[in-house]
Structure 1
């Protein structure tokens, strides 16, 4: 995974990372609040053997001590040593429980025994270490002098007394909060990487490029600044989304520059990916560019083109195929640019068989001979076979893939199905997420919304519209002193172009 892909993955899971940081920090705070502090105190015992001062005798004594000292270290946790400590300090515990709080260690190169004890406060730890060292001394003295003589074979002397510690054991308790936050961040990154590794949802142009070698003709963004208008007669749109539709139209014209007419099928893998919206937008944009365009609603299972454009949908394609009426009698005109629309008509009981008839082939050929561009809004490819049938009648199939909705293997399956039929494919990434840099580039070039004037009989006579589509009042000013708004100098206005939403309304940005 490249660094840019990793950073993009982290940005996609930013909410998860922030949540994990807070969870880790809260867990660290909870540990700090619930954790009881522990203090450790230690004392050191010096082990010696009485000698006459002879070097040989002293060497033998040193070897004797080193052999015995490990035995003394192991005696610290025994019942015979800890029971006197419990009685002396009046502790409410057992020798077994107390043994987990005390230990003795010794360096093989020295004759020192370090006795260490833990307690809930510093003074208790110091008292416990002192009591354990004294009980150990007494117990060893008893074992080494079983005859109760005045002289002992070995002596244990307290070399360093136990001192109450000034700080508890371990790191400072406040350190658990940032440590927990860091662990939460690490866990969030791990989850993001795992999800990114196994996540096969198409989100970017690179995701589509990894699925197929088919050309990506356009990436249409999901512009959340789009405001909606209910007026279907004079819609207008500019902005980033409109520029993406214009790019798609231009790419298609260059792809078919040597052809007199072009038949396009607009489809998708599954319903809900915005294929109908893209088809309508492309048809309107092409008509505005001066092409003669006919939009055919070839989805004979769930037709929506007529309802979105406010046209009659009871007669259309099925009427032409079944009753053999002339196409001129069934075509409807939408808008001022001469966009022709052939609605779906009545839903037949056998859509696939009807689309496979010779009448359908002849109808498409007739439309291709009369119009510069024929756009067929087909059904999804994977649920039914209708789309594959229509792809054989089209010069190119536009496969619309919705970012964040369709999976890579689903898009690959649709492309593979079209490849098996030899159908040329063009990809359109719908609802693409644009980076802030891309939006800034558009904004710097002056791509902004263009709002048509409101009729004189509207509630707002001055013809001004707010961003939300509602009427807005403008303060009166003298014409001589009036200055153009600042945004008028941001760049050239984009040409108004209507777009139709998936819910049936007309949108602009």
Structure 2
């Protein structure tokens, strides 16, 4: 996985990452607030050896005192020291309970014993540490045998404990840091689970990575598209119409060696806008003066009759069944005389009908009689019709609906097309979000034309609600 891919994943899931990280941090902070405060006080006891007269004796005594310091540090938490402390302070703790609150340590190569005591009260913590140190200083020398009538070990309290000001537990910064790391770990797990289940395509780079194919067009989202699906006719000066014209221009560089070109428009799943895209591209191509035929090969859920407002009674199925000649089944649409062959009545065997020799001959006839044929095929995943059509006729253009399809579905669709030998010319990203830069740059060249009531003022340049006549700008032609 490349660094760019990781950055895109973080960008797409940043809300999840931030929210779960903050939840972890706040949970740790809340947990810290519920814990009782503990205070730790410390006292130091020095261990010395008596009776050293020469330098060699001093060296040996120093080694002996360090060894005794390590031994006596364990004695500090034993009953011989703790029981008198409990009695003197009147504590309710047992020796075992007090032992859990008293710790000792000896620094390396020293004879200094550090004694720490923890208690909810800072004063009690200091008292316990001081009494343990004093009791150890009294008991320690008695544990070694006398040499020449005197104790060889001397313990002295060199620093008394004082009541601490700040609590030693809970460690709020540490808990917050651990909670933050825990939140990040949970966020990473959630993101990884989403990636395993499938992440929805929401950007152009994401669509390109999933398809592994060239991007040949993008079409911005428009809330009025369901009411005016053929945007190149209903709103020719909109951003969406310009996107279709730009896609038309890119298709001119595909199949350049073919005199008669065929493009099979399909998608991974239903609802990605392949039929609307097919109709708009066909209308945009017809507007250039070439002969174009739009064929509806989706024999299960045909929708071009509704999109183009044409009668659905006759079409490909009636011609393939031999009930009607091809010339009578083709309908003319729009001022540019776009030829349209709808699906016709839904047959009981769509796949068999599309793969029949009669249907193949019909499509070859349309290809030979038109400059460009646009085939609106079914989605790739539900049925295999699109793969078969793309293999025999030109190749496929995959429409990817942002927010409506997952990356793995796009990847599998391309793999299925290529597995049968079909060429994938590229992808068209549909329902893309128009950036502010797109709107501002377009505003300098757009011709404002009223196309209907109640349009948002912020989008007036791409689909104006004004009823005024369009502005006349001499010499200005629509961008291609």
> What range is the shorter-chain TM-score in?
0.7 to 0.9
Structure 2 residue aligned with 1:317 = 316
Q: For residues 166 and 178 of structure 1, what CA distance do their matches in structure 2 show?
A: 23
- Quote the RMSD (CA, aligned, Å): 4.1
Q: For residues 208 and 216 of structure 1, what CA distance do their matches in structure 2 show?
A: 9
**TM norm structure 2:** 0.81
Deviation at 1:425, TM superposition (A): 2.8
Deviations 1:275-333 (A, max 9, x none): 21221121122223333322221111221211232222132111111134122322233
Are residues 1:130 and 2:127 paired?
A: no
- Matching of residues 36-47 of structure 1 within 5 Å: 36-47=36-47
Q: For residues 453 and 197 of structure 1, what CA distance do their matches in structure 2 show?
A: 45
Structure 2 residue aligned with 1:378 = 377
Deviation at 1:266, TM superposition (A): 1.4
Deviation at 1:411, TM superposition (A): 4.2
Deviations 1:234-264 (A, max 9, x none): 6215444333321221122233455443222
Report if the CA contact (8 A) 2:449-2:466 is conserved.
Answer: no
**TM norm structure 1:** 0.77
Q: For residues 471 and 415 of structure 1, what CA distance do their matches in structure 2 show?
A: 38
- CA change 1:58–1:382 in 2 (3 A) is closer
Does the residue aligned with 2:133 lie in a helix, a strand or coil? helix
Deviation at 1:177, TM superposition (A): 4.6
Q: For residues 94 and 434 of structure 2, what CA distance do their matches in structure 1 show?
A: 67
Structure 1 residue aligned with 2:344 = 345
Structure 1 residue aligned with 2:215 = 216
Does the residue aligned with 2:20 lie in a helix, a strand or coil? helix
Which runs of 5 or more residues in structure 2 are unaligned?
none
Does the residue aligned with 1:255 lie in a helix, a strand or coil? coil
Structure 2 residue aligned with 1:140 = 140
Report if the CA contact (8 A) 1:269-1:382 is conserved.
Answer: yes
Report if the CA contact (8 A) 1:263-1:395 is conserved.
Answer: yes
Deviations 1:174-221 (A, max 9, x none): 675577447645764676578669967655555565567654322334
Q: What count of residue pairs does the alignment treat as equivalent?
A: 470
- Matching of residues 46-57 of structure 1 within 5 Å: 46-48=46-48, 51=51
Structure 1 residue aligned with 2:71 = 71
Are residues 1:90 and 2:87 paired?
A: no
Deviation at 1:99, TM superposition (A): 0.8
Structure 2 residue aligned with 1:267 = 266
- CA change 1:144–1:216 in 2 (3 A) is closer
Structure 2 residue aligned with 1:334 = 333
Report if the CA contact (8 A) 1:451-1:465 is conserved.
Answer: no
Deviations 1:143-199 (A, max 9, x none): 4589xxx96554433222221122222697467557744764576467657866996
Report if the CA contact (8 A) 1:78-1:99 is conserved.
Answer: yes
Deviations 1:443-499 (A, max 9, x none): 224366854355xxxxx7xxx85458999789x9xxxxxxx99xx99xx7856x9xx
Deviation at 1:126, TM superposition (A): 0.6
* Higher mean C-alpha displacement, 31-40 vs 201-210: 201-210
Deviations 1:103-159 (A, max 9, x none): 22334644433222111232111101112122223333554589xxx9655443322
Structure 1 residue aligned with 2:450 = 452
Q: For residues 186 and 56 of structure 1, what CA distance do their matches in structure 2 show?
A: 59
Q: For residues 52 and 375 of structure 1, what CA distance do their matches in structure 2 show?
A: 107
* Higher mean C-alpha displacement, 296-305 vs 198-207: 198-207
Does the residue aligned with 2:36 lie in a helix, a strand or coil? coil
Does the residue aligned with 2:430 lie in a helix, a strand or coil? strand
Are residues 1:289 and 2:288 paired?
A: yes
